[in-house]
Structure 1
Amino acid sequence: MFDVGFGKLALIAIVALLVLGPERLPRVARTAGALVRRARSSWLNVRSEIERELAAEDMKQQVNDALRATDLRAEVDATAESIRRSVEPVSSTPAPASPAPSTPPAATSAADDHR
């Protein structure tokens, strides 16, 4: 984010010492430190709040998906049950008896005629 190395910090400290003087520099440093801590704390609070909101939104989405899946499952079960009910009367009625195969009368042989 910011490329602040040791050299740059030392330069800032020397300039601050020259501008503010040795009497006011400790008080300004404490105030600057307190402001940085507050800013960092505020940033962490905002960040954690955003993460909580995102987690809550994700949980809501998962609950909604689960409810949709449950509703879909209930709809499928209801459809399956109605199909079972509509098929049940057809399968419970006895099948019509098939006619007995008709056997042709036995052919009389010539030997039977002579007896």
Structure 2
Amino acid sequence: MFNVGMSELFVFGIIALLVLGPEKLPEAARFAGKWYAKLMHFVNNAKQDIDRELGLSELRAQVQQEMQRMAELEQKMQSQLAELRQQTEANDVKQQLQSSANEKTVKFNSLIYRDLLSNQAYYAVFTPHYLQKFLQHQPLSNDYQTEPKASSPVKLKVIA
């Protein structure tokens, strides 16, 4: 600790013997030993405190990293939740649009059915889905003819 070699200790002991004398030298050595032990105890405690603080600072750094990671995960979850809400809202709007479109399609199909039965239509264009609906559709009232007249056939065009 002090970089004192054996020769320096020997010189220090001879000077202490000459200054203090043989009667007070053992008492002074005991006193110096006690103070040296106290100093070493203080230094060791300081080292342990520093090591503990370093350990705490490392622990604090780890806690900060975990908190930051949790904040990132929370942001990610919030963005995914927002996307899911938007998707759900979009699906709700889509379903509402489809239900209103289906209502309009039924009305449109009933008009086409009426026109076909009354022989006023010469062309009808369908997608396969709506053709199936049209073929399954029943007239709303019984005052329509159930079969078109043979003189003017109706052409159906199906778009795939």
Asked if Structure 1 and Structure 2 have the same fold, meaning a TM-score greater than 0.5 normalized by the shorter chain, the answer is yes
CA RMSD of aligned residues (A): 2.5
Q: In structure 2, what residue type is equivalent to 1:24?
A: K
Higher percent of residues as strand: 2
Larger radius of gyration: 2
Aligned to 2:159: 101
Superposition deviation, residue 91 in structure 1: 5.8
TM-score, with structure 2 as normaliser: 0.54
Pick 1 or 2: higher relative contact order, CA cutoff 8 A, min separation 6. Answer: 2
TM-score, with structure 1 as normaliser: 0.72
Spell out the pairing of 1:36-115 with structure 2 (5 A cutoff): 36-90=36-90, 93=94, 99=127, 100-101=158-159
Q: In structure 1, what residue type is equivalent to 2:83?
A: I
2:91 counterpart of 1:33: no
Aligned to 2:11: 11
Aligned partners of 1:8 and 1:71: how far apart in 2? 61
- Judge which range, 15-24 or 26-35, deviates more: 15-24
2:15 counterpart of 1:20: no
Give secondary structure in 2 for the equivalent of 1:2.
coil
Superposition deviation, residue 64 in structure 1: 2.2
Give secondary structure in 2 for the equivalent of 1:59.
helix
Give secondary structure in 2 for the equivalent of 1:26.
helix
Q: In structure 2, what residue type is equivalent to 1:12?
A: F
In structure 1, the gaps of 5 or more residues are 103-115
- Judge which range, 62-71 or 8-17, deviates more: 62-71
Aligned partners of 1:32 and 1:68: how far apart in 2? 53
Give the number of equivalent residue pairs: 101
Give secondary structure in 2 for the equivalent of 1:64.
helix
Superposition deviation, residue 54 in structure 1: 2.3
Give secondary structure in 2 for the equivalent of 1:4.
coil
Q: In structure 2, what residue type is equivalent to 1:101?
A: I
Q: In structure 1, what residue type is equivalent to 2:5?
A: G
Q: In structure 2, what residue type is equivalent to 1:16?
A: A
Superposition deviation, residue 38 in structure 1: 0.3
In structure 2, the gaps of 5 or more residues are 102-125, 128-157
